[in-house]
């Protein structure tokens, strides 16, 4: 087979087309019309074949065959994965590889979306609308505007030495803060997260793929500066699945059930990492900032 690189060579072209479509009204209308056709066709295929798949807001469907563990890749991650590609409704394999190492940014948008919803060790089948694959490009074995079936095994997400070093420094700083402030009943998660349950809830804990309603306040740990206060819930533009949130929320929310309140002490690596971020009201969150979140899991929607 040609291997993933032959397909990924068109990513830049596809990205340019994708961006240009979204930068003009006619292009947006054309993209949305094709997207509606694609997602309708994929939805019919899913229902007709009794496939237990979840739908992302992008229109990418994903069927979890085997769930792994750990954290999903970020946009900047390098990922090691195996894959098999076919046009939806056609059993012929267009391309496959038992293992390849790629940057997430080198992958077509639909594969980026799908992999960002998987943890290492996961196996899944992605159903990708053409606009998030190769769009109007006509490739050998992939006609223009083809929806794709992408069978994937995410074998690993590369962690850098810098991230490991930063996590070590972060957890030392967190533990010093907890000791200095005599904070009790702290649970130390293997991920590096520290948390305190301040109000018990009831029922089963949230899973990575549950949609949730949350109330929370975020603060910079070192200064106590509030950078967000508010809530999140599923909407047409945001699924609010646990796996859609920062790593610290993924680790914390899966230890919580509906009605639980907790304080999360977050190492920067599980927060915004080495990126400087602007919070609500223009508050600057410096790179490598440890964070504190007061969070309430209001409801597990489904």
Indicate if the pLDDT at residue 25 is higher than 80.
Answer: no
Please give the model's pTM, rounded to 2 decimal places: 0.91
Instruction: Work out the average pLDDT over 275-279.
Output: 93
The tens digit of pLDDT for each residue in 127-186 reads 999 999 999 999 999 999 999 999 999 999 998 999 999 999 999 999 999 999 999 999
Residue 141 and residue 167 in one domain: no
Residue 118 and residue 196 in one domain: no
H or E segment to which residue 299 belongs = strand 291-300
The tens digit of pLDDT for each residue in 98-123 reads 999 999 999 999 999 999 999 999 99
Nearest to 186 by CA among 102, 255, 88: 255
CA torsion angle for 143, 144, 147, 150 (degrees, to 10)?
60
Residue 138 and residue 168 in one domain: no
Residue 118 and residue 68 in one domain: yes
CATH of the domain at 102: 3.10.50.40
Say what the pLDDT of residue 294 is: 99
Residue 107 and residue 212 in one domain: no
171 is in which domain, residue-wise?
Answer: 161-300
The last residue of a domain, from among 123, 157, 191: 157
Residue 153 and residue 172 in one domain: no
Domain count, the chain: 2
Across the strands, what pairs with 202? 258
The tens digit of pLDDT for each residue in 180-224 reads 999 999 999 999 999 999 999 999 999 999 999 999 999 999 999
Residue 87 and residue 106 in one domain: yes
DSSP 59-127: S-EEEEEE---S----TT-EEEEEEEEEETT--SEEEEEEEEEEEGGGS-HHHHHHHTT--TT-EEEEE
């Amino acid at each position: 087979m040609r291997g993933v690189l032959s397909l990924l060579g068109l990513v830049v072209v596809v990205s340019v087309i994708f961006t240009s479509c979204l930068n003009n009204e006619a292009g947006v209308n054309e993209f949305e019309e094709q997207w509606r056709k694609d997602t309708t066709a994929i939805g019919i295929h899913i229902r007709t074949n009794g496939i237990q798949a979840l739908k992302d807001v992008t229109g990418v469907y994903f069927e979890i065959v085997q769930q792994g563990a750990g954290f999903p890749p970020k946009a900047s991650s390098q990922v090691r994965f195996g894959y098999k590609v076919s046009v939806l409704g056609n059993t012929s394999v267009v391309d496959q590889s038992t293992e390849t190492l790629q940057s997430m940014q080198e992958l077509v948008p639909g594969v980026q979306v799908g992999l960002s919803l998987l943890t290492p060790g996961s196996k899944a089948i992605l159903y990708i609308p053409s606009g998030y694959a190769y769009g109007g490009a006509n490739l050998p074995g992939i006609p223009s505007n083809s929806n794709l079936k992408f069978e994937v095994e995410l074998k690993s997400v590369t962690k850098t030495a810098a991230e490991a070093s930063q996590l070590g420094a972060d957890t030392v700083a967190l533990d010093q803060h907890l000791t200095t402030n005599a904070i009790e009943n702290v649970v130390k998660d293997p991920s590096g997260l520290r948390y305190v349950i301040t109000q018990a809830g009831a029922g089963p804990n949230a899973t990575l793929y549950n949609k949730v309603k949350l109330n929370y306040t975020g603060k910079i740990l070192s200064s106590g500066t509030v950078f967000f206060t508010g809530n999140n819930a599923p909407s047409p533009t945001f699924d609010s699945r646990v796996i859609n949130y920062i790593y610290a929320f993924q680790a914390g929310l899966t230890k919580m059930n509906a009605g639980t309140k907790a304080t999360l002490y977050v190492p920067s690596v599980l927060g915004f990492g080495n990126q400087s971020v602007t919070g609500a009201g223009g508050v600057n969150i410096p790179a490598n900032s440890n964070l504190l979140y007061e969070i309430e899991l209001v409801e597990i929607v489904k």
